[in-house]
């Protein structure tokens, strides 16, 4: 899924706004990779919608350009880490640990794990990350947050990219 990418997104928003990471609620959905999608339309800082957030800590507006830059940094971050140390294994281990703890402790936590989607944002028959409740039974209800048409189209493109990879592998 995109648990790691979602963590990176929240961290970068926290850096730009000066608000603690635990108070940033935003998700990365779709493929874990180049076609992943930041779901800004349902994101909140505190309980303020991202679109209504005023300025960054340096006084610049927290606008589409800043959000686009943050999303781009999230996508590119793995490449930068791999260039520097060769792998992202520690961060992947931490993300896996978060998923396992959510299940073992029956936390009913919302995590962006990959599950087989059926009718989610118009997407069916593909496994990709979406906000999903994780508890003792594993992946539970897949949440359907409000998203824009642009986000929906980007998610559809992400699903198509995943289908192509599966097809190329003979699935």
Q: Specify whether 32 is catalytic.
A: yes
What is the rounded radius of gyration, in angstroms, for the C-alpha atoms of the chain?
Answer: 16
Which two tokens mark 48?
């303020």
Percentages (nearest 5) of helix, strand, coil residues in the chain? 50, 25, 25
Residue 73: burial class (beta carbons within 10 Å; 0-12, 13-18, 19+): middle
> Which residue in 25, 32, 72, 80 is the catalytic one?
32
Q: How far apart are alpha carbons 150 and 26 in whole angstroms? A: 16
The neighbouring-strand residues paired with 44 are 25, 49
Q: 2, 3, 1, 24: which is closest to 12 by C-alpha?
A: 24
Catalytic residue set: 32
């Amino acid at each position: 899924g995109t648990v790691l990418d979602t963590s990176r997104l929240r961290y970068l928003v926290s850096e730009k706004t000066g608000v603690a990471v635990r108070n940033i609620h935003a998700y990365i959905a779709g493929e874990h990779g180049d076609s992943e999608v930041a779901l800004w339309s349902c994101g909140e800082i505190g309980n303020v919608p991202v679109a209504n957030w005023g300025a960054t800590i340096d006084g610049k507006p927290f606008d589409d350009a800043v959000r686009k830059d943050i999303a781009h940094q999230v996508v590119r971050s793995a490449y930068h880490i791999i260039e520097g140390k060769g792998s992202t294994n520690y961060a992947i281990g931490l993300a896996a640990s978060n998923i396992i703890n959510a299940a073992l402790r029956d936390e009913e936590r919302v995590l962006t794990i990959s599950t087989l989607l059926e009718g989610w944002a118009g997407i069916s028959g593909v496994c990709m990350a979406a906000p999903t409740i994780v508890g003792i039974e594993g992946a539970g209800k897949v949440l359907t947050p409000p998203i824009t048409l642009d986000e929906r189209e980007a998610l559809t493109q992400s699903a198509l990219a995943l289908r192509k990879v599966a097809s190329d592998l003979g699935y």
